[in-house]
Structure 1
Amino acid sequence: MMIDRYSIALFLVLSFLVGVLDASAGDSDLRYRACVAQCEKTGCVGERCFPHCKFPSDRVAIEGPWYMQEPLYLKWKQWDCHSDCRYNCMIDREKEREALGDGPVKYHGKWPFRRVFGIQEPASVAFSALNLAMHFHGWLSFFILLYYNLPLKQDKKAYYEFASLWHIYGLLSMNSWFWSAVFHSRDVDLTEKLDYSSAVALLGYSLILAILRSFNVRDEAARVMVAAPFLAFVTTHILYLNFYTLDYGWNMKVCKVMGVAHEG
């Protein structure tokens, strides 16, 4: 049962990654591009104007005293003129498409969304939060079962020799869904890298755990020998994504290989 739930979670992680790779017709639309360009010059989309468009993307006020500077809550959310122009132009363009009977299209790799209380993609955040809650409940139930409902060794350790590995798996799963929720609430460079890195770490560790469990590797030295090359590869891949280039295509290939190998 626990393995099935984690497998479903891994599938959902891959689904989120796949969504980013799809082509974006919306941001290639000339009317959308013209709207964004005009907004960045005037600070307005139609009759809606954005006061913080007086501030450049580096958050330094162009002119005016300190009390005219960008509000702290906007700095925290990292909404700036560029992102507000994109968002409002997307909303207006989708209204035009709907009036013409056309379906929605993706913008910058994402389907059209509406902000709710500053949250960029509320539905995705809700699903990620639910998955986080599910994994926390599963990990807590597993912990209670091992240490409160089953007999323990004299050193207070569980008889189940894979217990510590499953604990790490549960923590990595919760970490992955936490950063997924953060990323979908606000898509910036930092949250994107944390989301991708957490998903890759989870997939890599799940592959290691699947191998150790399938071959019933119980000796600690043997476990280290089996896990070492996989840990080295996953660590190198995460460093590559974070400090060299966030290559979506290469990352998807790596995740697919690890996912298929894990399921196999």
Structure 2
Amino acid sequence: MPYKARLRMSLVGCVEQCEKTGCVGERCFPHCKFPSDGAVVDGPWYLQEPLYLRWKQWDCQSDCRYYCMLDREKEREALGNGPVKYHGKWPFKRVYGIQEPASVALSALNLAMQFHGWLSFFILLNYKLPLKPNKKAYYEYTCLWHIYGLLSMNSWFWSAVFHSRDVDLTEKLDYSSAVALLGFSLILAILRSFNVRVEAARVMVSAPL
């Protein structure tokens, strides 16, 4: 049997055993007696899984997969083998409950820079440059850049959330936010490159996209 197939079978066996016993080696997880929906079978409400665990989604299966992955990687390292992907991801180590701390830090930094840029743009237009008599900016692309800034901040926010905990919901929010930002960036690039100023023309350009 190929080595990768044996590794996969070993990992699957470890996870299945952990879900039954609540332990990986000598490490046991008290919340493995809770099902994934956070409630104890035939148990009263006060025995429900703690709220912070449900919020972080560190359920029994997640912990079993994580620690089985770490054990398999220790075995591979002892044999002189390099890391492999588990469940489509490279091995990672949690830091204070954060799944991918480096990615979270970089996403948060991008979010901070986007916020700084948007805030600087807002202050420049509203407090440093002259305004029209109706209190609107002379710059005709103001609204579009505000939308771009908000979409950028939204995208990096969900990127940080997704990398802190990869579940189905955070994955969809991260990817959909990124797609929305890329789509609007394309629209904005076209409008700005061709200097489209008429509102009706902007709508006509954006509609097919």
Cα distance per residue 1:169-224 (max 9 Å; x no partner)? 00000000000111111111111111111000000000000110111100001001
> Deviation at 1:26?
9.7
1:50 to 29, 32, 56: 29
36-45 or 102-111, larger mean C-alpha shift: 102-111
> Deviation at 1:91?
1.0
> Deviation at 1:105?
1.5
Quote the residue 2:123 is aligned against: 144
**1:170 has 2:149 as partner:** yes
TM-score, reference length from structure 1: 0.74
Quote the residue 1:220 is aligned against: 199
Alignment CA distance shift 1:26-1:213 (3 Å) = farther
Quote the residue 1:195 is aligned against: 174
Aligned partners of 1:204 and 1:68: how far apart in 2?
A: 46
Asked which structure has the greater RCO (Cα within 8 Å, sep 6+), the reply is 1
Aligned partners of 1:210 and 1:151: how far apart in 2?
A: 26
Q: Which runs of 5+ in 1 are unaligned?
A: 1-24, 231-264
Identity across the alignment (%)? 82
**1:208 has 2:179 as partner:** no
Aligned partners of 1:147 and 1:73: how far apart in 2?
A: 42
TM-score, reference length from structure 2: 0.93
Cα distance per residue 1:72-115 (max 9 Å; x no partner)? 21111121111110000011111111111111122122221111
109-118 or 26-35, larger mean C-alpha shift: 26-35
Greater Rg over alpha carbons, structure: 2
Q: Secondary structure of 2:13's match?
A: helix
Aligned partners of 2:183 and 2:160: how far apart in 1?
A: 20
Greater helix share, structure number: 1
One-letter amino acid of the counterpart of residue 87, structure 1: Y
Alignment CA distance shift 1:78-1:118 (3 Å) = same
Cα distance per residue 1:212-243 (max 9 Å; x no partner)? 0111100001001111121xxxxxxxxxxxxx
Alignment CA distance shift 1:26-1:119 (3 Å) = farther
Q: Report if aligned partners of 1:26, 1:108 keep a CA contact under 8 Å in 2.
A: no
> Deviation at 1:64?
4.3
- How many aligned positions are there? 206
1:31 to 2, 10, 14: 10
Aligned partners of 1:150 and 1:177: how far apart in 2?
A: 29
**1:116 has 2:95 as partner:** yes
Aligned partners of 2:53 and 2:120: how far apart in 1?
A: 40
> Deviation at 1:29?
2.0
Quote the residue 2:70 is aligned against: 91
